[in-house]
Amino acid sequence: MNRRLYISLAALFVVIGLYGQSKPEFTQIKNRNVYLGGGNIAGMRADSVNISSASINGDYTFGEGRRGIDPPKMWSLSLDANTIMHRRKFSMYGAFNFTQTQAYGAFTNMSVELNRFPVDIMEYTPGNKTKQRYAFNAGISVDVADSWRLGARLDFAATNLAKLKDLRYTDFAMDIALRPGVQWLGPKGLNIGANLIIGKSSETIVAELLGDNNITYNVFLHKGMMYGSFQDWEGGSVHLKESGINGFPISEMSYGAAAQLDYKGLYAEFSYLRADGKVGEKDAIWFRFPVNEYKAALCYRTRAMDMNNVFRVDFLYRGTDLFETTLDKVTEGGVTVREEYGSKRVFRKGVMGIIPSWVFNRPGKFEGVLVLAYKVEDGLSTVQYPYYGVQSAKLVSVDASFNWHFTRNWALRTKVFAGKGFIYDQLFTQEAPVEGQNAPYRSMKDYNNWYDYVNCPYAGASLTPRYTFRNNMYLQLYCQAEYRKYSYRVNTGLNFGYNF
């Protein structure tokens, strides 16, 4: 890890030393180009400003106003480098990020990110976690004819996670997506584009126990809505130690398409993504989870009262079904293989979101962002017949930030945010319960932590002073505090960067 960190630092400072011209902030230029945030990078040539940035960032987080899965305290160090370059016939975009995170007193989810997949494993021994994430994005747009552009974008991220205490484990995750696209430049400012989406996500959790300390370490296999299996980590129901299988592997292949329309400041995009996921490998596929995702965005860009304004509304629907298979080991001719007899759906989840936003700025004076969000998560758990659980979580939030440039050197960003969740959760039976049969197991500690965090109203604010030197290097200090029901969470950090 240290060798990679030193190489990244050296590359960062070499890039900084190659440029010295005056430039605006990188985020301002990137955010105004809707194609960089969308799926079809072929349209990025709608802008023409060349700009790059590099930064070193460090932050520290502490406080008890947190989700149950979050550690009491953590710190992180990250390196970032970004560039947007336009030439006469082509444009390019590139970004690199390395983040090192150290968490203290961490436990619960063994995956690199909660809700990354519909299946997860929880463990309950507090300890230190180390996580490293490497990511890069690369894209190009080329004029191939008077009215046609071709483009392609590649996004890649790899994450390593390790916890070396008691029931120790490592986790490796990878995400890769390729988006080739085309854009037609029509008359009177009408532009139409389309692109394909091809991606793969994977993750493998490998657990081990060194020595014999006569302690039983239990884990919880989460199958949605905190229903699942609670067992010794070597038990057959949680699949952490299966014969012939390397750990707990998860993979997901995705494919889809998107279309865009751009006309005189009006931008619209619609995309569909289909993903097929599985948990297990070889002849031992324990779960399958097909996913259907629909996204739409409507954006209008205008200039009024010497201000640039971007009004945008994003829509999202994501539906996931989780199927658990029935397997048995069959021995024929001295060879033991697993045979699949069928599967049943144990969880269904639908997520719907509406996010209106307003971004405005007066170059060199101020910038502002207002974001509202309404999100609904509906779940149906059928892990054990004849019981079924129904859950609905409605989440409302508002986030407003304002960045004021007092002088050429000094700027101050302030942000306020608040939100509240509303939860309905109930367990039913389709008929009279089978005699002697208990209700399905639910990890009530994990469920209560989630319920308290989501249901509790919260509010917070941040303050970020920034000083920019003459050569466009800047130093930034920020502090954010979030308050929720007699508890708080504080995040502080320092950034040193360069826009060129």
Sole residue written with tokens 């809700």? 115
pTM: 0.89
**Residues 260, 267 contacting (CB under 8 angstroms):** yes
CA contacts within 13 A on the Cβ side of 332? 5
DSSP assignment of 375-407: EEEEEEE-SSTTEEEEEEEEEEEEEEEEEEE-S
Task: Measure the CA angle with vertex 351, ends 199 and 153; round to 5°.
Answer: 25
Q: For residue 140, which amino acid is it?
A: I
Q: Which residues does 277 contact at the CB level (< 8 Å), separation at least 6?
A: 117, 118, 250, 251, 252, 253, 288, 289, 290, 291
Identify the three-state secondary structure at position 267: strand
Confidence grade of residue 29 (pLDDT, cut at 50, 70, 90): confident
CA contacts within 13 A on the Cβ side of 439? 12
Confidence grade of residue 9 (pLDDT, cut at 50, 70, 90): very low
- Would you say the C-alpha torsion 40, 42, 45, 46 has a positive or negative sign? negative
Residue 460 token pair: 């917070």
Measure the CA–CA gap between 22 and 20, rounded to whole angstroms: 7
pLDDT at 434: 63
Residue 250 token pair: 């998860």
Closest CA to 349 of 294, 304, 394, 291: 291
Q: pLDDT tens-digit profile of 274-292?
A: 999 999 998 899 999 999 9
Measure the CA–CA gap between 247 and 206, rounded to whole angstroms: 4
Cα 25 to Cα 45, 53, 306: the distances in Å are: 19, 8, 19
pLDDT at 37: 81
Confidence grade of residue 436 (pLDDT, cut at 50, 70, 90): low
CA contacts within 13 A on the Cβ side of 252? 25
Q: pLDDT tens-digit profile of 325-334?
A: 998 888 777 7
Measure the CA–CA gap between 359 and 301, rounded to whole angstroms: 9
Percent of the chain with pLDDT over 70: 94
